[in-house]
Amino acid sequence: MNRPADRLRIAMQKSGRLSDPARNLLKQAGFQFRSDKDQLFCYGEDCAIDLVLVRDDDIPQLIAENVCDLGIVGRNVLQEKALELRGSAHCGLQELMPLAFGGCRLSLAVPNSQLWQNAADLEGQRIATSYPELLADFLQQRGIRADIVALKGSVEIAVKLGKADAICDLVSSGATLVANGLKETEIILQSEAVLACQNTPFGDSRDGLLANFIARIEGVMKVQGSKLIICQTGKCDLASVLKLLPDAVAPTISPVWGMDDTLNIQALCQSAVTWQRLEAMKLAGARGLMVLPVEKLLA
C-alpha cells in the first residue's frame, strides 16, 4: 500500500475480542468506513482516516514500520512487541491512551497442588507462555532464573502435557485455569485495549488529524456513563446541593428570571447518578431534578 501523508491509517483486529468494541468506539465517534472486496481495508468516507484489518499480533509491527500510523491493540501485545524490538531500527512504540475495553491480565499460574509463597518459587522451573519477552523482563527484574518455554497457543495445558512446571498466560475470568487444575499466583501486567503509535510526531498534516481523532475518542469515553443533572435550588441551599455533586465538571450556576432567590444548576456528572443521590439532593434543597443522557461531548 502507498502511504499517504494526508490521511491517518489505523490498524485493528479483523476479528477477535477487541474487534467489535473497537468498531463501536469509532462509530460512536462519528467515523464511517467503506470496506473493499476482501474486507481488509476500510476507507474513511467522511474523514481522512482509513482502517487496515489484520491479526492482533501484526498491529505493533505495522506501526513500527510506519505502514500504519496508529493501532488499536491489547497492551499485552504492544508491550511484548516493544520489548522484542528494543535496540532495533523499529523501536519506539508507545501507548497513546487506554480505551477502557478488553480488560484482562497477564498472570503466572501453577498447579493447585504446588505451594506458593512468591515469584522466587519459580527459580529453576520451566514456564510456558506466549509472551516470552514480558515474562523474561519480569524474571530479570526479580533476579529469577527459569527456563521460558515459548508457545503460540494452548499454554494452559502445557503443565498437563509435561512441557512446563508453571505458565504465564492471559486471564479474564480464571475459568480456563480452574478447568486445567491451575491457580493464579501473581499478576505481571494489567491489560486492556489501547491506542498505540510511534513516539515521534508525524511532522505533516497527520499531526492535526491525530489531534482531532483523539479529541473525538476522548469525548466518547467521557460521555460513557456521564449524565447531565438539571435542577433548581435556593441561594441559601446552593452549597449543600453542590456538596452532593463532587464529580461534576464545572457546574453551571445561573439566575432564574423573576425569582431573585432561585438558581438554576446544570452539572455534568461522570459517576453513577442513583435514586439515593437524587433524594439526598432533594433533601438538601434541590427541586425539579432532571437527569439526562449525554450523547456527544467535545472539549
The dihedral built from the CA positions of residue 180, 184, 189 and 193, taken in this order, carries a sign that is positive
Residues 4-33 have pLDDT tens digits of 778 999 999 998 899 999 999 999 899 999
Report the percent of the chain where pLDDT is more than 70: 97
Reported as a pLDDT band with limits 50, 70 and 90, residue 223 is confident
Q: Are 77 and 16 in contact (CB under 8 A)?
A: no
Reported as a pLDDT band with limits 50, 70 and 90, residue 287 is very high
Reported as a pLDDT band with limits 50, 70 and 90, residue 37 is low
* Domains of the chain and CATH, by start: 8-101+193-223 (3.40.190.10), 104-191 (3.40.190.10), 227-293 (3.30.70.120)
In angstroms, what CA-CA distances link 4 with 7, 10, 50, 115, 250?
Answer: 6, 13, 11, 56, 41
pLDDT, mean over the chain: 91
**E strands, 151-284, where?**
166-171, 182-191, 193-198, 227-234, 248-256, 259-269
Reported as a pLDDT band with limits 50, 70 and 90, residue 273 is confident
Q: How far apart are CA 133 and CA 130, in angstroms?
A: 9
Reported as a pLDDT band with limits 50, 70 and 90, residue 224 is confident
Q: Which three cell numbers stand for residue 269?
A: 456528572
Q: How far apart are CA 37 and CA 43, in angstroms?
A: 12
Per-residue pLDDT at 149: 96
Q: How far apart are CA 9 and CA 51, in angstroms?
A: 6
Give the three-class secondary structure for 169.
strand
Q: Are 217 and 72 in contact (CB under 8 A)?
A: no
Q: How far apart are CA 283 and CA 79, in angstroms?
A: 50
Parallel, antiparallel, or unpaired for β 286-293 and 227-234?
A: antiparallel
Reported as a pLDDT band with limits 50, 70 and 90, residue 248 is confident
Per-residue pLDDT at 299: 64
Residues 61-109 have pLDDT tens digits of 999 999 999 999 999 999 999 999 988 877 889 999 999 899 999 999 9
270 vs 233, more confident: 233
Is the predicted pLDDT of residue 288 greater than 80, yes or no? yes
Residues 115-163 have pLDDT tens digits of 999 999 999 999 999 999 999 999 999 999 999 999 998 899 999 999 9
H/E element holding 75? helix 75-84
In angstroms, what CA-CA distances link 101 with 68, 104, 289?
Answer: 22, 9, 32
pTM of the model: 0.79
For residues 188-205, average pLDDT: 93
